[in-house]
Copies of this chain bind each other. A is one copy, B any other.
Amino acid sequence: MPLVVQKYGGSSVHDAAAIKRVAARIVATKKAGNDVVVAVSAMGDTTDELIDLANAVTSAPHPREMDILLTAGERISMAILAMAIRELGVGAQSFTGPQAGVITTAHHGSARIIDVAPSRVQKAVADGDVAIVAGFQGVNVDNQDVTTLGRGGSDTTAVALAAALGADVCEIYTDVDGVFSADPRIVPAARKLDRVSYEEMLDFAASGAKVLMPRCVEYARRYNVPIHVRSSFSYLEGTWVVADQEEGDTMEEPIIAGVASDRSEAKITVIGVPDVPGSAARLFEAVANSGANIDMIVQNVSATATGVTDISFTLPTGSVDAAHLAIEEDRDAIGYEKLVVDDTIGKISLIGAGMKSSSGVSAKFFAALRDSGINIEMISTSDIRISVVTRSEALDDAVRAVHTAFGLDSSDGEAVVYGGTGR
């Protein structure tokens, strides 16, 4: 019998009525002849409410206690969901992360999954029941305490369960219909993608698309778990995230999957850094020690006359203050003139696995931006992605211009760019 792992996020289970709808969908999947294992997030705003409660009693919640607190959220949703499924006449058993055998590192709040030993889940499925597993949680391999997986944790739980159980598919239910060629709020003509590769999806995720977190996609790629991203509000096919195509198939694949955009980053420019070996290393050591994840880096071509250079990098807006402080504290060792923070940037990324075998993509991308009068501040590329930093206010125009230039608009279906060379 096929085994389907489904994941429902907080917005899909935000109240009792929503949970009943999810239960009906699970029962329909079961009755269609599948074994079903479900990973579920906490209901709606539960996690935020619990965080507020913690903040009301302490300025620095202890990480172990915070994880104990937050895991109450999935405990509630999983039990209610199991009850709602039983109400429809199908057996269901709920399991916490520890009970489901999700074994993690000891890093409370951002634990990594080490192993999954889902014997209780397997037994429930063998008994003909639907197994409901709390997303986002695991058990500390060192001492059996509960841990949480941090951002994207519930998706990762679902993929990890699918991998450990050898599931046929991992369905990630969300509030959108799938992965789009661009953000539909910016580009109304954006198309839902039927299929993207793990690599493309990783670049989408790293470039601002919120539908799946990179860690979940990485896990799926490593264990080759097919992901089906789809809406919990419809029965439409969503987007399949699968392994890259065999060589023979690529002729039919579009070069470009889509355009991602991101306003969540800021730019720090460090001016007047001595152009000597070690200065940049010292700078980025300080930033790394502050806990910030750097995205793009640009160093000016050094002006030999002055012997100094400018270095710009982007990082999540939420990390700016800590990074800023870390650099200032190390000012003497780095030896720079001044530091400028710019939080009005936007990043546009063009993503497509076909790009690596196709020339001229970059030229077309830059031409589209130029023709729209959009200034490029930073550039970074990988073999399947080109990213550019612009002014935040120019970002939406940039996305629309590029989306159109590559024939991605759905009203322009004939013009979709298919594989080949020389374009």
**CA separation between A19 and B71, bound complex, in Å?**
20
Q: Is the CB of B68 within 8 A of A84?
A: no
Residue of A56, A64, A68, A80 with most partner-chain B CB within 10 A: A68
Tell me if A127 counts as interface (CB < 8 A to partner B).
Answer: no
Tell me if A86 counts as interface (CB < 8 A to partner B).
Answer: yes
Tell me if A106 counts as interface (CB < 8 A to partner B).
Answer: no
Tell me if A338 counts as interface (CB < 8 A to partner B).
Answer: no
Tell me if A149 counts as interface (CB < 8 A to partner B).
Answer: no
Q: In the complex, which residues of chain B have a beta carbon less than 8 angstroms from the beta carbon of A53?
A: 16, 76, 80
**CA separation between A16 and B82, bound complex, in Å?**
30
Tell me if A300 counts as interface (CB < 8 A to partner B).
Answer: no
Closest to A84 in B: B57
Closest to A50 in B: B76
Q: Is the CB of A75 within 8 A of B83?
A: no
**CA separation between A96 and B68, bound complex, in Å?**
9
Q: Is the CB of B71 within 8 A of A75?
A: yes
Minimum Cβ distance to chain B for residue A129 (Å): 11
Tell me if A295 counts as interface (CB < 8 A to partner B).
Answer: no
Q: In the complex, which residues of chain B have a beta carbon less than 8 angstroms from the beta carbon of A6?
A: none
**CA separation between A65 and B72, bound complex, in Å?**
14
Query: A83 touches which one: B54, B76, B83 (CB < 8 A)?
Result: B54
Q: Is the CB of A87 within 8 A of B16?
A: no
Tell me if A103 counts as interface (CB < 8 A to partner B).
Answer: no
List which A113-171 residues lie within 8 A (CB) of chain B. Answer: 144
Q: In the complex, which residues of chain B have a beta carbon less than 8 angstroms from the beta carbon of A76?
A: 50, 53, 69, 72
**CA separation between A104 and B54, bound complex, in Å?**
31
Q: In the complex, which residues of chain B have a beta carbon less than 8 angstroms from the beta carbon of A99?
A: 144
A57-B83 CB under 8 A given contacts A50-B76, A76-B50, A93-B64: yes
Minimum Cβ distance to chain B for residue A45 (Å): 14
Q: Is the CB of A82 within 8 A of B62?
A: yes
List which A20-61 residues lie within 8 A (CB) of chain B. Answer: 20, 23, 50, 53-54, 56-61
Tell me if A66 counts as interface (CB < 8 A to partner B).
Answer: yes
Q: Is the CB of A65 within 8 A of B50?
A: no
Q: Is the CB of B75 within 8 A of A62?
A: no
Closest to A78 in B: B68
List which A370-419 residues lie within 8 A (CB) of chain B. Answer: none
Q: Is the CB of B86 within 8 A of A58?
A: yes
A61-B83 CB under 8 A given contacts A16-B56, A53-B16, A94-B68: yes
Q: In the complex, which residues of chain B have a beta carbon less than 8 angstroms from the beta carbon of A23?
A: 57
Q: Is the CB of A84 within 8 A of B72?
A: no
Tell me if A339 counts as interface (CB < 8 A to partner B).
Answer: no
Q: In the complex, which residues of chain B have a beta carbon less than 8 angstroms from the beta carbon of A367?
A: none
Q: Is the CB of A65 within 8 A of B94?
A: yes
A68-B57 CB under 8 A given contacts A62-B86, A86-B62: no
Tell me if A79 counts as interface (CB < 8 A to partner B).
Answer: yes
Q: Is the CB of B79 within 8 A of A58?
A: no
Q: In the complex, which residues of chain B have a beta carbon less than 8 angstroms from the beta carbon of A58?
A: 83-84, 86-87
Q: Is the CB of A65 within 8 A of B79?
A: yes
Q: Is the CB of B68 within 8 A of A75?
A: yes
Query: A80 touches which one: B20, B54, B59, B93 (CB < 8 A)?
Result: B54
Q: Is the CB of B69 within 8 A of A72?
A: no
**CA separation between A70 and B62, bound complex, in Å?**
24
Query: A65 touches which one: B20, B61, B64, B83 (CB < 8 A)?
Result: B83
Residue of A53, A60, A83, A84 with most partner-chain B CB within 10 A: A83
With A62-B86, A65-B82, A72-B76 known, 8 other A-B pairs at CB within 8 A are: A16-B53, A53-B76, A53-B80, A54-B83, A57-B80, A68-B82, A75-B75, A99-B144
The 7 closest A-B CB pairs, nearest first, are A16-B56, A69-B79, A57-B84, A58-B87, A72-B72, A68-B79, A72-B75
- 16 pairs from A and B in contact (CB 8 Å cutoff): A16-B56, A54-B79, A54-B83, A58-B83, A58-B84, A58-B86, A58-B87, A59-B87, A60-B87, A65-B92, A65-B93, A66-B79, A66-B83, A68-B94, A72-B79, A99-B144
